[in-house]
Amino acid sequence: MKIGVLGTGATGLTIGSKLVELGHDVMVGSRDEANPNAVAWAKDAHRNALYGTFMNAAEFGEIIFNCTLGSASLNALNLAGAGNLKGKILIDTSNPLDRSTDTWTLTVCNTDSLGEQIQRAFPDTKVVKTLNTVNANVMINPSKLIEKTVVFVSGNDIEAKATVVMILRDWFGWRNIIDLGNITTARSVEMYVLLWHSLRTAISSQRFNIKVVTA
């Protein structure tokens, strides 16, 4: 499958590499046509790995991953272009974080979320929020944790969510996937990220996740 990955930070390139490894054709997109990270990545990844602008990557992909920083996501998606995103699934892994101090805060929360903002800005795109609750390495290697943990999906389009569940399960190896509901539940997973940050500090590791335990 042809996949566009927006963002050339750790998340974008980690997901991009996994997708290339799975045999997909991947274009990572950034603000600049030849972002040094993206150029180096494409060289390393050998085959099926391309780079370009946000617009190039959005046009290229049948499915798009948003792996940009939350603070830059709406701008990046505008550069990608509504027409290039139209009718497509947009897998939104971003978090609306302000990391300017040690105490992280969110730039949107409680009565709205970045997932909802993106869905409102691109009504013809099927936004599915997922994977934002874990570090990039855990996203594509959930089985590296010592027990099976949980990942969430939030979105308005049932079929798009089913496709994303398939991707999470069959491509990335997730075994416990909970559908939280429509895109407003992006608030829940985005607001969880402050607890993730506190936990990371408390346990001095980014390689962790949560598991839901019932009675």
In this structure, the chain runs to a length of: 215
Question: Judged by CB under 8 A, which of 144, 162, 170, 175 binds a second copy?
Answer: 144
Question: Judged by CB under 8 A, which of 145, 163, 171, 173 binds a second copy?
Answer: 145
Q: Does 213 bind a second copy (CB under 8 A)?
A: yes
- Stretch (H or E) spanning 91: strand 89-92
Token pair of 148 as six digits: 């099976």
Q: Does 192 bind a second copy (CB under 8 A)?
A: yes
Q: Does 55 bind a second copy (CB under 8 A)?
A: no
Alpha carbon distance 207, 192 (integer Å): 16
Q: Which is nearer to a second copy, 75 or 103 (CB)?
A: 103
Q: Which is nearer to a second copy, 171 or 192 (CB)?
A: 192
Minimum CB distance to a second copy, residue 93 (Å): 17
- Tell which residue, 175, 166, 170, has the closest CA to residue 142: 175
Q: Does 175 bind a second copy (CB under 8 A)?
A: no
Q: Does 10 bind a second copy (CB under 8 A)?
A: no
Q: Does 105 bind a second copy (CB under 8 A)?
A: yes
Residue 166 — φ and ψ, nearest 5°?
-65, -45
Question: Which of the residues 152 through 171 are near a second copy (CB under 8 A)?
Answer: 152
Alpha carbon distance 172, 152 (integer Å): 14
H-state helical runs in 52-173: 54-60, 70-80, 82-85, 114-121, 136-140, 158-166
**Binding residues for a second copy, how many (CB under 8 A)?**
41
Which are the contacts of 38, defined by CB distance < 8 A and separation ≥ 6?
A: 8, 13, 28, 29, 30, 51
Minimum CB distance to a second copy, residue 177 (Å): 11
Q: Does 63 bind a second copy (CB under 8 A)?
A: no
- Interface residues with a second copy (CB under 8 A) are 103, 105-106, 109-111, 144-147, 149, 152, 178-181, 184-185, 187-189, 191-192, 194-195, 197-199, 201-203, 205, 207-215
